[in-house]
Amino acid sequence: MPKRFGLVIDQERCIGCEACSVACIIENNPATGPFIRVQTIGGESKDTPKGRYQELKMEFLPRLCMHCDSPPCAKACPNHAIKKRPDGLVILYSEECNGCQLCIDACPYDAISYSADSGLVEKCNFCFHRIDKGLEPFCVICCQGQAMYFCDLNDSNSKIVHLLARRSTYKLKPELNTGPAVIYCRSNEARRL
C-alpha cells in the first residue's frame, strides 16, 4: 500500500504554547505569518479558560492545511500550481503560481494566504523538503507538549494508528468529503466543529 502521510494532533496534550507556529516561521519564513495557527475551541480568547472554578478547561485547536485526499484548492488552480503527491502531501509550487487567489476561495479550511509583497499565495507543505530527507515537519519536532505526530496513515503497524484506535477522533468539516489528512484526538471535553 502506498504511503499516506498525515498529522495527528492530540488535544489532550496541546498546551497552546504556539511552539508549532514559531517553528513554522523559522523553517519556512512565510510572508503572511505561520502556516499553523493555534486557536481555542469555540473561538474564545486564547488565554481565557472555559467553565467554572474547579472544572476550568483550556482546549486548543492547531489549524493548518489539511492535505486533503480531494483538495479543492488544487482543482481551483488554473495553473496547476497546487499538486497532490502520491504520498498524500498537497504541495504549492510557487514558481507556477500566478497569484490569482482562486485557491484561497476554494479552501474551506482558510489554510491559504496571499502575500501582497510577492503577489503569490502561500500554504503549509508539511515541510516536504524535510520529509524528502527522511525528517519530520519542523512543527512536530518543536511541539513542547508532544501533541503532534507525523505518520504514514496507511501503516497498520504504526503506534499512531494504534493510538487512533483507542481514542475518539475527528476531522474538520467531514461533511465536505475532502478527506483531510489531519486528525484530531479529542480531549475529554472537546466538541466537534
Q: What is the 3-state secondary structure (H, E, C) of 81-96?
A: CEEECCCCCEEECHHH
Confidence of residue 189 (pLDDT cuts 50, 70, 90): very low
Predicted local distance difference test score (pLDDT) of residue 48: 65
CB 62 within 8 A of CB 42: no
Question: Model confidence over 63-95: pLDDT tens digits?
Answer: 999 999 999 999 999 999 999 999 999 999 999
What is the pLDDT confidence band of residue 175, given thresholds at 50, 70 and 90? very high
pLDDT, tens digit, 9 for 90 and up, residues 22-54? 999 999 999 999 999 988 776 555 666 666 777
pLDDT the model gives residue 112 = 97
DSSP state for residue 137 in the 8-state scheme: P
Retrieve residue 184's grid coordinates: 484530531
Q: What is the rounded distance in angstroms from the CA atom of residue 86 to the CA atom of residue 96? A: 19
CATH class of segment(s) 5-185: alpha beta
b/e map 169-184, b = 16+ CB within 10 Å: bebbeeeeebebbbbb
Q: What mean pLDDT is predicted for residues 138-160? A: 93
Phi–psi pair at 95, nearest 5 degrees: -65, -15
Domain ranges (residues) in the chain: 5-185
Instruction: Give percent of the chain above pLDDT 90.
Output: 74
Q: What is the pLDDT of residue 191?
A: 37
What pLDDT was estimated at residue 43?
57
DSSP secondary-structure letter at 57?
B
